[in-house]
Chain A
Amino acid sequence: MKIVLEHVTKRYPNRNRKIKTEVIAASDLNFEIPDGQLIGLLGPSGCGKSTTLNLISGLEPPTEGRIYFGETDVTDLPPEKRGVGLVFQNYALYPHLTALQNIMFPLQNLKGENRPSKQQMEERAVETAKLVQIDQLLERRPKEMSGGQQQRVAIARALVKRPGVLLLDEPLSNLDARLRLQTREEIRRIQRETGITTVFVTHDQEEAMSISDSIVVMKDGAVHQIGKPQNVYDDPVNLFVAKFLGTPPINVFTGEVKNGSLSIGEEAVLRVPGAPDGEVSVGIRPEGFVPDENGAFGCGLDRVEIMGRDTSVVFTHPLMENEQGRAVISAELAAGLSGDKVRFSLKPNKTHLFGPDGERIRFDI
């Protein structure tokens, strides 16, 4: 089922009653999630991504705007009538019930004709448990399971009613690093097998990029960019998105465009035809640096870190936002680096210009 948000806004009254202004948790959200896709809602904490999820689930009503599932307007429907499954950040498994009882709980709420027989309920619960591969642990209580297993029970509980939409709130944040990798593959597999439209919230860009069909980057309650992970990474619309995506992060310098030429400090580092003259922020991805004795861009060399497949060069530059920058280059190219200076030439498609307001300035490559 596709999900459409139209001008959705959520405002809260301020906690501190003396302050009359309202807190805007989500402002004018407009996007469409196509049927059967896995979408990552991504942003720093407090950006409104959990609010967005709650708006979709119906736990919170929007202040303005409409929400559609398929062609149906669900804005005024209570959560249980929307047909969503929600996995909570802390899983919210009922501690006094076994895994099987937890998974069966939503089915036992059904009434009238929809209510399956006791045997059918159990069959469906076991079937769902098999899908998430916890059918061996059905008699255990949440306390007797690991975090990853609890997570799977929570997903099974959300899926057992065969909802049209699956929502996951920070599904991996309570797991350790190794389990996180494993579980995200698992979520991807379950989503593929069921073909269910899935939205998950995360603050970890790597997590979002690795398994999503599309990502929605949010900040301060507003959507900044929507797109395929690779496209968003390669073509950020503003400085925030550019900085938020990518590890190691993008390196940001202050520079100036004059007559179609970009200079950082005294050095003219790149031809940027089509860009208007003026002060700019220059974002260069770590893989945008090519060590080159005759390169146009000179930096101080701090150290070279060898990581096997490739090498990262830690450099310094007076006009850089952070104290140190990082370039990732192939190991062969790193062989010649020594001393305390290094020169790079820049890849134009890995170099992005941003105006003083943070908006992207495009140039012809």
Chain B
Amino acid sequence: MKKQNLKAWLYLLPAIAFLGVFMVYPLFDVVIYSLEEGYNSASQSFFGVGLYNFSYVLHDPYFLQAVKNTLILVVITVPVSTGLALLISLGLNSIKTLKNLYQTVYFLPYVTNTLAVGLVFMILFKKTAYSDGLINLLINFFGGRSVDFIGGPYWAKMMVMCIYTVWIVLPFKILILTGSLASVNQDYYNAAKIDGTSKWRTFWRITLPLISPMLFYLIITGFIGAFKAYSDAVALFGVDLNAAGMNTIVGYVYDMLYGNSGGYPSYASAAALILFSIVFTITCVNLRTRKRLQF
């Protein structure tokens, strides 16, 4: 038994070593950075130890804006994308002809580069002094007035950001959900049919509970993914996100490290730890609800 254990640990050693060097050590390092006040990376010196970095970050209007943006993004895109994916999967599952074609079409965005999709979105939504994008042409057609979605009001930018995020995360969710819907044993549906169960009730009482493990997986990973959003914002609004007012928490961390105002690893570390604690808390809450609902 003991020998076996030793062998097992030996097999695990490479992974543990890598994780230790590239995950655990930096984690501790981040905690240390975040507590060192006035750290200077050039001279490797600091004034003292304390919570000033956290206080600074939490009072920084840019950070607060980033938190607000990220929260709006999470609250809107996770339910919307999961719900949409479920609807589309149910549709895909119930058609027979051209099913494969539609599945491929819905999966295409997943294999497309994020920045390329961002470019397409910019073209669709943009408005310059001389020309309108397709969306604005449509708005004009229906008698509305052009809106500058990329450089205009906050709600317009937020809307584009949300649509873009939903668009990006949708294919993966559809893929997972069509798979889990197809794996529900047909006998459950036959049994429901014999008992005269209405379509609505079949969905709520049978289909949904049976695919709920996958749904939970998607919601949890969706939350985590949305909290870590950054490249999507860059794809749409460029690298100076603070100026556009569309920064995210990860974007703020990046800016603190390398941006125009960069060179503040301590602030970056503090912000990263705040993000970590938010994601951690929400994931714990999610897992708890999941446990209660599990069968």
CB proximity of B100 to chain A, nearest CB, Å: 15
CB proximity of A147 to chain B, nearest CB, Å: 16
Q: Is the CB of A79 within 8 A of B295?
A: no
Given contacts A86-B191, A92-B190, contact A80 B196 (CB under 8 A): yes
Collect the chain B residues with CB atoms within 8 Å of residue A90's CB.
185, 187
Collect the chain B residues with CB atoms within 8 Å of residue A88's CB.
187, 190-191
CB proximity of A216 to chain B, nearest CB, Å: 22
CB proximity of A78 to chain B, nearest CB, Å: 8
CB proximity of B214 to chain A, nearest CB, Å: 14
- Whether A84 is near chain B, meaning CB under 8 Å from some CB there, is yes
Q: Is the CB of A109 within 8 A of B190?
A: no
- Whether A95 is near chain B, meaning CB under 8 Å from some CB there, is yes
- Whether A85 is near chain B, meaning CB under 8 Å from some CB there, is yes
Chain B 194-225 per-residue mask, 1 if CB under 8 angstroms from chain A, else 0: 11111001000110011010000000000000
Interchain CB contact (< 8 A) of A161 among B188, B190, B195? B195
Q: Is the CB of B194 within 8 A of A57?
A: yes
- How far, in angstroms, from A110 to B210 measured CA to CA in the complex? 23
Of B191, B193, B196, chain A has the most CB atoms within 10 Å of the CB of B191
Q: Is the CB of A109 within 8 A of B201?
A: yes
Interchain CB contact (< 8 A) of B187 among A80, A81, A92, A161? A92
Closest to A106 in B: B195
- Whether A23 is near chain B, meaning CB under 8 Å from some CB there, is no
Q: How many residues on chain B are close to A (CB under 8 Å)?
A: 18
Q: Is the CB of A96 within 8 A of B295?
A: yes
- Whether A94 is near chain B, meaning CB under 8 Å from some CB there, is yes
Closest to B191 in A: A92
CB proximity of B16 to chain A, nearest CB, Å: 35
Q: Is the CB of B198 within 8 A of A85?
A: no
Q: Is the CB of A92 within 8 A of B201?
A: no
CB proximity to A under 8 Å, residues B101-123 = none
CB proximity to B under 8 Å, residues A60-87 = 78-81, 84-86
- How far, in angstroms, from A108 to B201 measured CA to CA in the complex? 10
- Whether A59 is near chain B, meaning CB under 8 Å from some CB there, is yes
Of B185, B195, B201, B206, chain A has the most CB atoms within 10 Å of the CB of B195
Chain A 82-116 per-residue mask, 1 if CB under 8 angstroms from chain B, else 0: 00111010101011100000000110111000000
Q: Is the CB of B193 within 8 A of A79?
A: yes
Collect the chain B residues with CB atoms within 8 Å of residue A141's CB.
295
Collect the chain B residues with CB atoms within 8 Å of residue A96's CB.
209-210, 212, 295
Q: Is the CB of B190 within 8 A of A59?
A: yes
Collect the chain A residues with CB atoms within 8 Å of residue B196's CB.
79-81, 106, 109-110
Interchain CB contact (< 8 A) of B188 among A57, A58, A94, A157? A94
Q: Is the CB of B194 within 8 A of A84?
A: yes
Collect the chain A residues with CB atoms within 8 Å of residue B185's CB.
90, 92
CB proximity of B276 to chain A, nearest CB, Å: 34
Collect the chain B residues with CB atoms within 8 Å of residue A78's CB.
193
Given contacts A90-B187, A95-B210, contact A105 B195 (CB under 8 A): yes
Collect the chain A residues with CB atoms within 8 Å of residue B187's CB.
88, 90, 92
- How far, in angstroms, from A356 to B193 measured CA to CA in the complex? 46
Collect the chain A residues with CB atoms within 8 Å of residue B194's CB.
57-59, 79-80, 84-86
Closest to A86 in B: B194
Interchain CB contact (< 8 A) of A95 among B191, B201, B295? B295
User: Would you mind naming 15 contact pairs between A and B with Cβ atoms under 8 Å apart?
Assistant: A78-B193, A80-B194, A81-B196, A86-B191, A86-B194, A88-B190, A92-B187, A94-B188, A94-B206, A94-B209, A106-B195, A106-B196, A109-B195, A109-B196, A143-B295
9 further contact pairs, Cβ within 8 A, besides A80-B194, A109-B197: A57-B194, A59-B194, A84-B194, A92-B188, A92-B191, A95-B210, A106-B195, A109-B195, A109-B198
Which residues of B pack against A, CB within 8 Å?
Answer: 185, 187-188, 190-191, 193-198, 201, 205-206, 209-210, 212, 295
